[in-house]
Amino acid sequence: MERYLDKVYRELRSRFGEAVQKDVSLSRYTSFGVGGPASIFVTPSSESHLLFLVKFFTREQIPFFVLGRGTNILVSDSGFDGAVISLGEDFKEISFEANLVWASSSVPLQHLVEQTSMRSLTGFEALTGIPGSVGGALKMNAGAWGFSISQFVRRIVGLRKNGESISITPKESDWTYRGFVHNDIIFTKALFELQPGKADEIKTAIAEYSARRHKSQPVGERSAGCVFKNPEPDMPAAKIIDQLGLKGERIGEAYVSSKHANFIVAHPGATARDIYLLMRKIQKIVRDKTGIYLEPEIILLGEFEE
């Protein structure tokens, strides 16, 4: 019998052409480089396409996932039996008005940092080296060295999963440490307010943050950044894991980084299951030895078995 999602694929394909693909391996869309296929993979090129798809998937009760640059997710080896939405070209715009900047969701965060620094706007320097997209950074409230992207957001524009368009000024309480509380919002763009700064100071700060990152993190290896949230602001998960001697711990080809204990790095041949089981092992050891529960920061997509 034909799978329901195959029927859905044919229907969407006839409407959107090659923007709709089926059984697409997600490993090449994630920084871990692991994971199985998405049943449907669609790249809407405009807001009207996105609106159609979101309403369609919601009405048909098809699970869907909005993918950014895949730098904070772990996709299961069996993939995702649903639809992955990857925002396309129309979501890559940046525009400036004095010290205000609109950036669409598919803009790489690093491009935004470069563009704002080129205009001598200060604020984003600490976000240097975070490899995600603007959309993913908003959803995760990405940040580093005491700064987070939410500090600079003045407006977010997007859709709710029921298709309702939104354009709101978020409140401080809408953001959490590494998160945004409204799970049903898909960001299409955001307005940021930065401050006029001095070009040489911005350049120096960017170089310093970049050097700090290269010194303390396994930059260039396959990872998804910090695996666990810090249990408390003054209690880094990395320190807890390191103090328990877990650097270098491995399952299969997944290793706890020897450079940063809260990073898991995937060596060639690693599977999502290796990474998942290593996460579980770290959680268990930390809980047994300290009583602390380490909550994952990375998003798990698909089914994982113990």
Ligand X SMILES: Cc1cc2nc3c(=O)[nH]c(=O)nc-3n(C[C@H](O)[C@H](O)[C@H](O)COP(=O)(O)OP(=O)(O)OC[C@H]3O[C@@H](n4cnc5c(N)ncnc54)[C@H](O)[C@@H]3O)c2cc1C
Chain contacts with ligand X (rule: CB under 6 A): 31, 65-73, 87, 105, 130-133, 135-137, 139-140, 142-144, 186-187, 219, 223-225, 299
Min separation Cβ 65 and ligand X, Å:
5
Cβ proximity to ligand X: between 106 and 283 the closer is: 106
Min separation Cβ 145 and ligand X, Å:
8
Q: Which helix (H) or strand (E) holds 277?
A: helix 272-290
Cβ proximity to ligand X: between 277 and 299 the closer is: 299
Given the DSSP bridges, would you call strands 64-67 and 80-86 parallel, antiparallel or unpaired? parallel
Cβ proximity to ligand X: between 23 and 221 the closer is: 221
Nearest Cα neighbor of 122 from 146, 99, 150 is 99
Min separation Cβ 140 and ligand X, Å:
4
Q: Label residues 25-61 b or e (16+ Cβ within 10 Å = b).
A: ebbebbbbebbbbbbbbbbbeebebbbbbbebbeeee
The rounded distance, in Å, linking the Cα atoms of 134 and 3 is 35
Given the DSSP bridges, would you call strands 80-86 and 37-42 parallel, antiparallel or unpaired? parallel
Cβ proximity to ligand X: between 22 and 139 the closer is: 139
Cβ proximity to ligand X: between 87 and 101 the closer is: 87
Contact 3, 13 (CB under 8 A): no
Min separation Cβ 17 and ligand X, Å:
22
Min separation Cβ 135 and ligand X, Å:
2
Cβ proximity to ligand X: between 65 and 276 the closer is: 65
Min separation Cβ 230 and ligand X, Å:
11
Contact 160, 188 (CB under 8 A): no
Q: Which residue matches tokens 């790095």?
A: 265
Contact 107, 187 (CB under 8 A): no
Contact 46, 86 (CB under 8 A): no
